[in-house]
């Protein structure tokens, strides 16, 4: 009986502690609410981007048919006789991305293999931070390289190359995404357990056979995810193409010609001063929407591949 | 048992006859050589590029270059308004990213229930990290510049860049919180602290170095961003210093872009010098982040 009496105040104290009226519990709730709000902000950003792009593109598609947008081979929205075909910009983006990845993906995987498999941990420990720092060089500086170093360098081999070209922009972008691909692929290769390599060597495989037939396949999802991220960065890259690829939309498959990409067009329009609400102003958002759709597809692919990655 | 059971399909004797062991090792050696050559080739190309920046712009770096406003005449032009603008924008970005990014990380790591919505937020953050930066510029143009009528001001730029680097800070801060031992939390709860008190007095102070690393890496990315700021309409020619958060501004990368897009050789030298300053800033921020990371690893032993 006495025990029951003694336990009462304890129970009461617990209930007071949990009371929502107690100041410290109010603070507790308030901060939880604030933290949650900040986390939800990231969803609002995505939603915001999609809503803004759709809202500003909507009036554009009232005036221009989707058919013209997708099939016309001419993009000249700012002329007096405007034409709205996304193809030249899309082609410019795809071509420069193709060149960048054509160089950076094989080089990146090769270097990542060398770094992960054939270098001592001691050297790697110093090289890894250097590569990570190189991955952080601002893209406008690569724009400088593209315009003033890479273009003259290619011109000294092919004198017919014009001052602006997709080729120079693509080659420079490959230097830009190389450190990213190397760094992420190396992480994937390092996560392959040592026992897998030892088993391969025990069966008499040479280092090349071990890397090519055992380690790379085990790390394939991580390596592929790294490459897709590189591609998606090349698609969205702006400053290099705005500076070195030229600003004239051009339906061409020849990388040695100047041509505008989607991002270069957006920069060009943003630098001029078009009035808010005009058709030319809306084209920026339409091109942005196209870019968003492309990146979403690539991000989704990267995610799918990464989800397949499981510990060996 | 039949013959076929003993045949291992992986051992293709036609492809790898025993006599070719020397050849296989030769191939392997060549691959090794090639991969290491590739690594050094890549490093050398990047060094040559940076070397060109120094060769062209090194002479322009003087005190005057830092204290002059941009000018029509290349030899008199400087980066005063650009570096002051960069400093302001970085300050705004840092404050906003720390407040929002760390809070979001705390929610996701400590409060969030394990349900579909939380999973959606996590996926969304991964997706945001890989979004082209120019799209953030379009968001800011539509939302901050036209809807909220903030104009192309310092505040708009700071908010745009903090949205851009938010995923970096969230991911780094979450990792820093996750690395803490569970006993730290238990000890605090055992002494009667609430969840928020535990966070403020124990978890966040213990994880602060990891969070700082993330914030500084995020700033090193923000400092070089050009495209989103051009999209929101940052001016390329500014001959005054901003006095309030709603003043128009220019930053280093935009000044660089402006000089680079002019045809004259002299302005290219200015661009190279501005590029060197920008590169130095990026490397400095990265070095500080790496330093903090190494230091933190040495000091704390759980």
DSSP codes, B230-259: HHTT--S---S---STTS----HHHHHHHH
**pLDDT at residue A16 is higher than 80:** no
The answer to pTM > 0.90 is no
Quote the CA–CA distance of A288 and A293 in Å, as a whole number: 9
The pLDDT of residue A7 is: 46
Which of A111, A113, A110, A311 lies closest to A210 in space, CA to CA?
A113
The pLDDT of residue B94 is: 94
**pLDDT at residue B14 is higher than 60:** no
pLDDT, average across residues A228-233: 89
Burial, B24: exposed, middle or buried (Cβ in 10 Å; 0-12, 13-18, 19+)? middle
Across chain A, what does the average pLDDT equal? 85
Percent of chain B with pLDDT over 70: 92
Q: What is the pLDDT confidence band of residue A74, given thresholds at 50, 70 and 90?
A: confident
**pLDDT at residue A272 is higher than 60:** yes
Q: What is the pLDDT of residues A127-181, one digit of tens each?
A: 888 888 888 899 999 999 998 899 999 999 888 888 888 999 999 999 999 999 9
Close Cβ partners of A305 (under 8 Å, ≥ 6 residues apart):
A221, A224, A225, A228
Burial, B222: exposed, middle or buried (Cβ in 10 Å; 0-12, 13-18, 19+)? buried
The pLDDT of residue B5 is: 44
Three-class SS of residue B114? coil
Count of CB atoms situated within 10 Å of the CB of A46? 19
Between B50 and B245, the higher pLDDT residue: B50
Quote the CA–CA distance of B100 and B217 in Å, as a whole number: 16
Nearest chain B alpha carbon to A209 = B28
User: Across-strand partners of A83?
Assistant: A76
CA distance, residue B259 to nearest chain A CA (Å)? 10
Q: What is the pLDDT confidence band of residue A6, given thresholds at 50, 70 and 90?
A: very low
The pLDDT of residue B89 is: 92
Q: What is the pLDDT confidence band of residue B95, given thresholds at 50, 70 and 90?
A: very high
Contacts of B56 in chain A (CB under 8 A): 148
The pLDDT of residue B13 is: 54
Burial, B199: exposed, middle or buried (Cβ in 10 Å; 0-12, 13-18, 19+)? buried
Q: What is the pLDDT confidence band of residue A23, given thresholds at 50, 70 and 90?
A: confident
CA distance, residue B246 to nearest chain A CA (Å)? 20
Contacts of A36 in chain B (CB under 8 A): 107, 111-112
Close Cβ partners of A124 (under 8 Å, ≥ 6 residues apart):
A115, A116
**pLDDT at residue B10 is higher than 60:** no
User: Does the distance separating the beta carbons of A35 and B257 come in below 8 Å?
Assistant: no
User: C-alpha distances in angstroms, B126 versus A117, A228, B131?
Assistant: 29, 14, 9
Number of alpha carbons in the 13 Å side-chain half-sphere of residue A89: 29
Count of CB atoms situated within 10 Å of the CB of A261? 32
**Residue A220 corresponds to which tokens in the numbers above?**
């394939």
Angle between helices A166-190 and A220-236 (to 10 degrees): 150
User: Does the distance separating the beta carbons of B124 and A133 come in below 8 Å?
Assistant: no
Quote the CA–CA distance of B270 and B61 in Å, as a whole number: 9
Q: What is the pLDDT confidence band of residue B8, given thresholds at 50, 70 and 90?
A: low
pLDDT, average across residues B37-47: 89
**pLDDT at residue B271 is higher than 50:** yes
**pLDDT at residue B238 is higher than 80:** no
Quote the CA–CA distance of B246 and A159 in Å, as a whole number: 49
Long-range contacts of B151-154 (CB under 8 A, 24+ apart): B151/B246, B151/B248, B152/B232, B152/B233, B152/B234, B152/B235, B152/B248, B153/B245, B153/B246, B153/B247, B153/B248, B153/B249, B154/B85, B154/B88, B154/B89, B154/B92, B154/B242, B154/B245, B154/B246, B154/B247, B154/B249
The pLDDT of residue B2 is: 43
pLDDT, average across residues B179-206: 91
Lowest-pLDDT choice from A21-25, A52-56, A65-69: A21-25
Which of A17, A29, A45 best probes binding to B when mutated, by most B CB atoms within 10 angstroms?
Answer: A45
**Residue A223 corresponds to which tokens in the numbers above?**
């390596």
User: Does the distance separating the beta carbons of A144 and B135 come in below 8 Å?
Assistant: no
Burial, B153: exposed, middle or buried (Cβ in 10 Å; 0-12, 13-18, 19+)? buried
Nearest chain B alpha carbon to A283 = B138
Q: What is the pLDDT confidence band of residue A18, given thresholds at 50, 70 and 90?
A: low
Q: What is the pLDDT confidence band of residue B239, given thresholds at 50, 70 and 90?
A: confident
**pLDDT at residue B113 is higher than 80:** yes
Select the highest-mean-pLDDT range: A8-17, A34-43, A235-244: A34-43
Nearest chain B alpha carbon to A138 = B224
The pLDDT of residue B1 is: 40
Between B49 and B169, the higher pLDDT residue: B169
Percent of chain A with pLDDT over 70: 92
Contacts of A140 in chain B (CB under 8 A): 224, 226, 253, 256-257, 260, 275, 278
The pLDDT of residue B15 is: 56
User: Does the distance separating the beta carbons of B283 and A267 come in below 8 Å?
Assistant: no
Q: What is the pLDDT of residues B114-164, one digit of tens each?
A: 889 999 999 899 888 888 999 999 999 888 888 888 888 889 999 999 999
The pLDDT of residue B16 is: 53
The pLDDT of residue B9 is: 53
The pLDDT of residue A163 is: 82
Close Cβ partners of A54 (under 8 Å, ≥ 6 residues apart):
A289
The pLDDT of residue A12 is: 47
């Amino acid at each position: 009986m006495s025990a029951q009496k003694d336990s009462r105040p304890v129970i009461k104290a617990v209930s007071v502690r949990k009371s929502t009226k107690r100041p410290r519990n109010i603070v507790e709730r308030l901060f939880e609410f604030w933290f949650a709000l900040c986390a939800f902000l990231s969803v609002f950003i995505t939603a915001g981007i999609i809503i803004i792009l759709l809202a500003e593109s909507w009036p554009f598609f009232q005036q221009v048919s989707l058919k013209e947008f997708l099939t016309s081979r001419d993009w000249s929205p700012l002329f007096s006789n405007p034409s709205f075909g996304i193809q030249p910009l899309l082609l410019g983006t795809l071509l420069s991305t193709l060149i960048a990845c054509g160089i950076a993906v094989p080089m990146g995987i090769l270097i990542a293999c060398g770094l992960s498999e054939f270098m001592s941990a001691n050297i790697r420990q110093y090289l890894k931070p250097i590569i990570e720092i190189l991955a952080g060089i601002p893209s406008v500086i690569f724009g400088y390289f593209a315009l003033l170093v890479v273009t003259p360098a290619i011109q000294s081999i092919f004198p017919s190359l014009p001052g602006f070209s997709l080729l120079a922009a693509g080659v420079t972008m490959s230097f830009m995404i190389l450190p990213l691909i190397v760094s992420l692929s190396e992480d994937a290769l390092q996560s392959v357990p040592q026992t897998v390599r030892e088993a391969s060597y025990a069966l008499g495989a040479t280092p090349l056979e071990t890397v090519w037939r055992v380690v790379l396949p085990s790390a394939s999802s991580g390596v592929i995810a790294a490459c897709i991220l590189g591609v998606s960065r090349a698609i969205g890259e702006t400053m290099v193409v705005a500076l070195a690829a030229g600003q004239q939309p051009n339906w061409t498959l020849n990388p040695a010609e100047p041509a505008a990409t989607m991002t270069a067009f957006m920069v060009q329009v943003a630098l001029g001063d078009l009035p808010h609400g005009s058709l030319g102003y809306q084209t920026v958002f339409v091109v942005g929407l196209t870019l968003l759709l492309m990146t979403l597809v690539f991000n989704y692919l990267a995610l799918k591949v990464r989800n397949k990655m499981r510990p060996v | 048992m039949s013959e076929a059971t003993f045949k291992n399909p992986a051992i293709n004797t036609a492809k790898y006859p025993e006599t070719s062991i020397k050849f296989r090792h030769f191939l392997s050696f060549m691959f090794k050589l090639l991969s290491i050559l590739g690594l050094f080739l890549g490093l050398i190309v990047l060094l040559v590029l940076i070397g060109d920046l120094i060769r062209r712009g090194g002479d322009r770096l003087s005190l005057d270059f830092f204290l002059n406003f941009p000018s029509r005449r290349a030899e008199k032009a400087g980066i005063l308004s650009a570096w002051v603008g960069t400093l302001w924008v970085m300050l705004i970005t840092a404050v906003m990213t720390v407040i929002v990014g760390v809070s979001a990380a705390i929610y996701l790591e400590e409060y969030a229930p394990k349900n579909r919505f939380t999973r959606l937020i996590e996926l969304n953050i991964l997706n945001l990290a890989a979004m082209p930066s120019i799209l953030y510029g379009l968001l800011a143009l539509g939302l901050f510049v036209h809807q909220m009528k903030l104009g192309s001001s310092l505040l708009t730029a700071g908010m745009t860049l903090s949205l851009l680097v938010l995923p970096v800070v969230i991911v780094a801060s979450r990792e820093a919180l996750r690395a803490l031992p569970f006993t730290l939390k238990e000890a605090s709860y055992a002494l009667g602290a609430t969840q928020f008190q535990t966070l403020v007095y124990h978890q966040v102070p213990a994880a602060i170095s990891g969070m700082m690393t993330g914030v500084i890496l995020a700033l090193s990315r923000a400092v070089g961003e050009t495209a989103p700021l051009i999209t929101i309409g940052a001016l390329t020619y500014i001959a005054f210093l901003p006095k309030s958060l709603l003043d128009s501004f220019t930053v280093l990368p935009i000044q660089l872009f402006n000089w680079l897009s002019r045809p004259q050789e002299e302005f290219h030298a200015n661009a190279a010098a501005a590029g060197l300053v920008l590169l130095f800033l990026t490397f400095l921020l990265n070095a500080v982040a790496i330093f903090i990371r190494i230091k933190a690893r040495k000091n704390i032993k759980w």
